Amino acid sequence: MDNETDYIAESERTRAAARIDRVRFGVEPDHGLHVAELTLVGREGGWGQGFQMCLKPEHVEMVRRELCALFGVATGDELVGQDCFALRSFPGYGAVIVGVEAPNGRRFTRAGFARRHGYKMSNELEHERRSLKLEVESAERHWRDARARLEAVGRGYVEWDC
């Protein structure tokens, strides 16, 4: 292997070769949220994942225009089939896609859009730390509960003869 990341599957990289498979700009029908959404698939197949932003209604069109400009197309429908790179802040299968990179090297990220348009948003590192802290606290609670059950397992036990 020439590169230390050669062993990492494309679907697990922080910058993964992808293609835009579907787009949606508008209201998400199940929950009524205003969204800008790209469904990305691996260029070589094997994975697919969404990049979605829930937005104020007036910002959905702004995201569509910015993405169209990034890829040099006129309409959202023309984004379908465009090659790109899925950008993730962390490696690993299923890690959140935080943006896309066009073949020309220009990027669109949720954090960048948020900064440009006044959205308050924690960065991905803060979000991951908070999420992992909650996961550890939950695991510790489960461990304590399991320890208490283990210590009490014999109390109240009745063996019924069949």
Which pLDDT score is estimated for 13? 83
φ/ψ bin of 105: left (φ > 0), alpha (ψ from -120 to 50), beta (otherwise): left
From first to last of its 162 residues, the chain has per-residue pLDDT tens of 345 455 566 667 889 999 999 999 999 888 889 999 999 999 887 888 988 988 889 899 999 999 999 999 999 999 999 999 999 988 887 788 999 999 999 999 998 998 888 877 777 888 888 888 999 999 999 999 999 999 998 888 888 987
- 8 A C-beta contact, residue 47 and residue 24: no
- 8 A C-beta contact, residue 42 and residue 78: no
Instruction: Break the chain into its structural domains and give their ranges.
Output: 10-121, 122-153
Which pLDDT score is estimated for 38? 95
Residue 90: what are its φ and ψ, rounded to 5°? -130, 145
- The pTM assigned to this predicted structure is 0.74
